[in-house]
Amino acid sequence: MTRILLCVAVIILGTVQGAQDTCNRRSVCPLNFIYNPDLGSCYNFVTSDKITWYDALSVCSMMDANLAAIETQAELDYLRREIKGRGFVGNSHPVDGDTFFVGGILFNGGWQWIGGPSWKTKPISFAPWRPNQPNALNVQKCVILYGGDDFLFHNWNCDYKLYYICEMKVQ
């Protein structure tokens, strides 16, 4: 209640820019999501539990979000900063390391950002793959941000359990 009153007072008076930014950020995104106004999206970096890509897709959808679709270098740079800012620096193996599922999947013979509440399925056009990736296409059909190589794209088995990033476009 106190936070709501503070936000209302700050918005009415418009005097404290930092507090106003905090109020705006909280009002744009749901709980646990972080707003990036330059990208027009809210992001949730889920590190409380590792789950499969399919389960992550369902969890994001239940939050009216998608698994993240990384479409520009600026977006990848932002996600890297946020991941590293949470203390994830990567290590040598995706299952043991600081690796995140995003919304990419090998679908109908091509790499796609899977659709959901925020956008329809669309082709992956920006693809900063780790060297020698993608590979093992018969079993590794999901895109991860691979912690062992500065969070570049890597294809991985969708049934492994990893952290994940949900994204919600702000209209």
- Give the total number of structural domains in the chain: 2
Give yes or no: residues 101 and 154 share one domain: yes
What's the domain range around 55? 35-169
Give yes or no: residues 75 and 122 share one domain: yes
pTM: 0.83
Residue 170 has pLDDT above 50, yes or no: yes
Give yes or no: residues 93 and 125 share one domain: yes
Provide CB contacts within 8 A for 7, sequence distance 6+: 19, 23, 26, 27
Residue 121 has pLDDT above 50, yes or no: yes
Give yes or no: residues 17 and 55 share one domain: no
Q: What is the pLDDT of residue 104?
A: 98
Give yes or no: residues 44 and 101 share one domain: yes
